[in-house]
């Protein structure tokens, strides 16, 4: 059984962390987008780490939400790091050639090291 979509946010040093759990599709993508906006409104985090290791599925709307987050972070002179394990989202980024634009890491620890 796939867990219901959930979003958790916390701070880790200079980074804001958003962890999503569950399928990222058109019904829940606005929740993730709203959380990104909330982090940006706080204005004190030059780096956003988005942990998607517990997201087994992402549709085109979810992908659009990730692209929007990247654009918003870049426009605010910030940095977005996606934490991904090999799977659907990694393949989706490769198929769409978006893997060239997103910074990715395999674990939160790697992402925090990269952000330091």
Question: Using one digit for the tens of pLDDT, what is the confidence trace for 23-45?
Answer: 999 999 999 999 999 998 887 66
Residue 68 lies inside a defined structural domain of this protein: yes
Q: Which domain holds residue 27?
A: 6-115
103 found inside a domain: yes
Summarize pLDDT for 53-90 with one digit per residue, the tens. 999 999 999 999 999 999 999 998 899 999 999 999 99
Residues 19 and 32: their CA atoms lie apart, in Å, by 9
Query: pTM here?
Result: 0.93
CA dihedral 7, 16, 61, 24 (to 10 degrees): -30
Question: Is the residue at 102 inside a domain?
Answer: yes
The C-alpha atoms of residue 60 and residue 65 are separated, in whole angstroms, by 9
Band of pLDDT at residue 1, cut at 50, 70 and 90: low
**1 is a domain residue:** no
**CATH number for position 23:** 3.30.750.24
Domain count along the chain: 1
pLDDT at 116: 85
């Amino acid at each position: 059984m796939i867990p219901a979509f959930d979003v958790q946010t916390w701070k880790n040093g200079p980074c804001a962390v958003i962890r999503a759990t569950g399928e990222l599709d058109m019904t829940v993508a606005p929740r993730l987008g709203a959380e990104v906006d909330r982090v940006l409104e706080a204005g004190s985090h030059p780096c956003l780490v988005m942990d998607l290791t517990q997201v087994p599925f992402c549709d085109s709307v979810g992908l659009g939400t990730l692209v929007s987050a990247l654009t918003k972070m870049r426009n605010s002179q910030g940095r977005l790091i996606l934490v991904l394990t090999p799977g659907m989202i990694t393949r989706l980024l490769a198929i769409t050639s978006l893997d060239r634009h997103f910074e990715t890491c395999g674990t939160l620890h790697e992402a925090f090291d990269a952000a330091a």
